[in-house]
Amino acid sequence: WHDMCNKLIKQKETNPINKYQPTPRYQNPQEKSKLVKLNIACGPNIFPYSGWINYDHADFNQYFNFIRTIQTDNGMPDHQKKLWNYVQQGGEIQYQQHNMTQPFTQHPDESVDYIYVGRAIEHLSPIHQMPAFLKECHRMLKPGGILRMTTPDLQLLIDAFNSSQMDKFDDDQPEYYKKACPSEKLSYLMFGAGGENCTQQNYEGHFNLFTKTSMDRALEKAGFSKTVYYQEAGQGLNEIAQEVRDEGLSHSLCVEAVK
């Protein structure tokens, strides 16, 4: 059998009409769940798919216990219903408290396949914390690994203000935004400091906003070799992009960077 198979392969290789092409390696569907996927600064934005390790500086265990123990999904928004159904079917939520400004020493070099950071990079200081965080993501990712981020798009906001189109973001914003004048709306979206607990002593707003140009520069300095931008949720370099939940895309940029 061995000799016969080798002979057939040799014939295919030398056949000018129908050359031999190796069949792609079979991938067991379970291998997908073995990928190491990090959801950093997750808040309550947990994805209903296996394999995700969720990190945030705050303690969300009470919220996760609520999802695990509540008996019905009545009244839940769609994304929460999906998470509830995932848990009811035996899906696990892996969650650890960790501040994104600190090194992720629990993940060795080149040990992570995919990192998601939704609406968080703008909360880091642009001179010190942001570059260090991007380098830490690059360190953890395997060659070919992907970092996906969403963040408010500074150029888009400026263009909307200059063309008197700040109202187009109303549907994504709280009531106070809808009642504001254009300059107030621009300020609210740029600084993101409208939370009840955001004060001078406890600042929870934005430190920095990106354009595609400044994002490219930051990712290149961190060592990433390629950046791709998307306008719609679910678009991405591989199918993992369909698992994440991108928020605020009406006024945000969505980027995937490849190591």
Check whether 24 has a pLDDT greater than 50.
no
Residues 6+ apart with CB under 8 A from 233: 244, 245, 246, 249, 254
Q: In the 8-state DSSP scheme, what is residue 133?
A: H
Q: How many residues does the chain have?
A: 259
Tokens of 156: 């888009």
pLDDT at 90 > cutoff 50: yes
Confidence of residue 25 (pLDDT cuts 50, 70, 90): very low
* Reported pTM: 0.86
Average pLDDT over residues 57-82: 93
Using 50, 70 and 90 to split pLDDT, how confident is the model at 167? Answer: very high
User: Distance between CA 160 and CA 187 in Å, rounded?
Assistant: 12
Give the pLDDT confidence score for residue 23 in this predicted structure.
Answer: 44
Q: Do 58 and 97 touch, CB atoms closer than 8 A?
A: yes
The pLDDT tens digits for 97-144 are 999 999 999 999 999 999 999 999 999 999 999 999 999 999 999 999
CB 210 within 8 A of CB 253: yes
Angle of CA points 60, 65, 70, to nearest 5°: 135
The pLDDT > 90 percentage for the chain reads 86
Query: What is the C-alpha to C-alpha distance for residues 76 and 83, in angstroms, rounded to an integer?
Result: 10
The Cα–Cα gap between 142 and 105 comes to 15
What mean pLDDT, rounded, does the chain reach?
91
Determine the pLDDT at residue 139.
98
- For the record, the structure tokens of 148 come out as 């996906």
Burial class for 157, CB neighbours closer than 10 Å (0-12, 13-18, 19+):
buried
pLDDT tens-place string over residues 194-244? 998 999 999 999 999 999 999 999 999 999 999 999 999 999 999 999 999
